[in-house]
Amino acid sequence: MADRLLDGQRVLLGVTGGIAAYKAADLCSKLVQAGAQVDVVMTEAAARFVAPLTFAALSGRPARIDMWSAPGGDPIPHVRMAASTDLVIVAPLSANTLAKLALGLADNLLTATLLATPIAALSKPGFDGGVPWILAPAMESHMWANPLTQAHMVALVARGAAQVGPGRGRLASGAMGAGRMAEPAEILAAARLALARRGPLAGRRVLVTAGGTQEPLDPVRYLTNASSGKMGLALAEAARDLGAAVAVVHAPLAVPMPYGVESVPVRTAQQMCDAVLARAGTTDVLIGAAAVADFRPAEAAGQKIKKTPGQEELLVRLARNPDILGEVAAQRAQTGWPRAVVGFAAETQDLLANAAAKLVAKRLDLIVANDVTEPGSGFGADDNRVTLLFADGRQEALPIMPKAEVADRVLAAVLPLLQPD
Ligand code: PMT
């Protein structure tokens, strides 16, 4: 299925000599499936490991090796390819080609093409005329550890290239160590992350809260709720794909953290509150999707609570937790940060009235009203049915849809709330 960031992108996939070249075929296939147009340029050493025909078949375009026999007798294929590339990936990147790239050598079609392809400054609008480079080194562990190799990698990263891997594990030599090429899925994720930096949230920081807080009763028991974190992480992914630098302050989650998103693990509402307030002053958009416990056991027992013979009940006194979004509102009134604050309202009755009251009480720009009684929606589900309530009184009721789509709709509603800096 076409990917919203990779679809239609012209990718130059450089493949250099190493046993991991076989994994580049999988990467090529994944890029094509994502909708990218892939031009593979191989070194002669790479072609000893995997036939160019493999890449030609997967990409539907000729895989090139030779500088001097370009199709149609093109005398400057490297310049032409460099000018028509949206994204560079070199996977696997050998120690030899890494050194050449760092030094600016241009002794084959791949190195000549890359020397003619400036590395994008991802933080600058329009990438400052450059192209994102994703480098996935793979080599024997001693070659990787060599200070010369390390210096070459550092030089390219300093110029803006994104390094993915290498991982540790069993190498072709049979030894264990660092040098394994990152998995194609991770390289693809890094490519998406780089391309996203052209999006409307580029240069913005988004903070999301996710998951259900845990309020300890004793060392092994706690009060919590059924939040999985799916909604919060979907929001984090949507913001990341629009180019934001995203962090998630989260209670324990049932789903993995998305690639490229900073994880800030906490457990209790108080810890979540502290972590959010510490970041709120540098956050453009705060989205509170966590299911935060309003109360906690007033005293958490130091040891596991024991039942005694004949005991029929245990009374637990609860103490009020801080209202995180309320605290943020107070801080925002002083500082103006975050620029936009979005809350959720998980309701079992009077959905819109209760959500509207929370919108006002927590001084939000937008609240996402969530009827959590509907089967297949809300806590733990993959889908959600929500209504967006804006501070200016507008309402937008959405049909039930995957949480990823809800997240897109929420982010689309957030964009107009941000003033240009
Ligand atoms: O995690 P999932 O399984 O995907 O489920 C998603 C969800 C149902 C948890 C999510 O869509 C949702 O509705 N999250 C808000 C849950 C909630 O706590 O709602 P609330 O109405 O109690 O709180 C209102 C808002 O104030 C929320 O943004 C909440 O994060 C925030 N809050 C609540 C209590 C508190 N002490 N401090 C807060 O900041």
* Spatial contact of 342 and 285, defined as CB atoms under 8 Å apart: yes
What confidence score (pLDDT) does residue 220 get? 97
Tokens 């056991």: give the residue. 297
The string of DSSP letters for 355-407 reads: HHHHHHHTT-SEEEEEETTSTTSSTT-SEE-EEEEETTS-EEE--SEEHHHHH
Which residue out of 207, 273, 325, 409 has the highest number of ligand 1 atoms within 8 Å of its CB and is therefore the one to mutate?
325
CB neighbours (10 Å) of residue 255? 13
Q: Whose CA is nearest to atom 16 of ligand 1?
A: 291
Helical pair 184-196 and 21-33, crossing angle rounded to 10 deg: 50
Both structure tokens of 241: 């794909």
Mean pLDDT per 10-residue run, the chain (421 residues)?
Answer: 96 97 98 98 97 98 85 68 91 98 97 95 80 97 97 97 94 86 98 96 97 98 98 98 98 98 98 98 98 98 96 96 98 97 97 98 98 95 98 97 98 92 61
Beta strands 205-210; 245-250: pairing state: parallel
> Is the distance from CB of 290 to CB of 232 less than 8 angstroms?
yes
The per-residue pLDDT for 128 is 81
Q: Are 249 and 287 in contact (CB under 8 A)?
A: no
In which element (H, E) is residue 33 found? helix 21-33
pLDDT for the residue numbered 126: 74
Token readout for 365 is: 């720009």
Calpha distance 321→192 (Å, rounded): 39
Residue 419 has a CB neighbour count (10 Å cut-off) of: 7
Q: How remote is the C-alpha of 297 from its chain's centroid? A: 35
pLDDT at 159: 95
As beta bridge partners, residue 222 has 216
Pocket of ligand 1 (CB under 6 A): 209, 227-232, 269, 288-292, 294, 321, 323-325, 343-346, 358, 370, 372, 378-380, 384
Q: Give me the pLDDT at residue 421, please.
A: 61
Q: How far apart are CA 128 and CA 133, in angstroms?
A: 13
**How far is it between the farthest Cα atoms of the chain?**
93
Ligand 1 mean position to 288 CA, how many Å? 7
pLDDT of residue 72: 65
In 3D space, the residue among 99, 179, 183, 88 whose CA is nearest the CA of residue 134 turns out to be: 88
Element (H, E) at 264: strand 262-265
Query: Which amino acid makes up residue 109?
Result: L
Q: Is 225 a catalytic residue?
A: yes
Residue 319 burial (C-beta neighbours within 10 Å; 0-12, 13-18, 19+): exposed
The predicted structure's pLDDT at residue 75: 64
CB atoms within 10 A of CB 125: 10
Q: Return the bridge partners of 286, or none.
A: 207, 341
| Set 225, 354, 370, 384: catalytic member | 225
pLDDT of 399 reads 97
Closest ligand 1 atom to residue 294 Cα is 36
d(CA 202, CA 248): 17
The enclosing H or E element of 133 equals strand 133-137
Question: Which domains, and CATH codes, for the chain?
Answer: 10-198 (3.40.50.1950), 205-294+317-418 (3.40.50.10300)
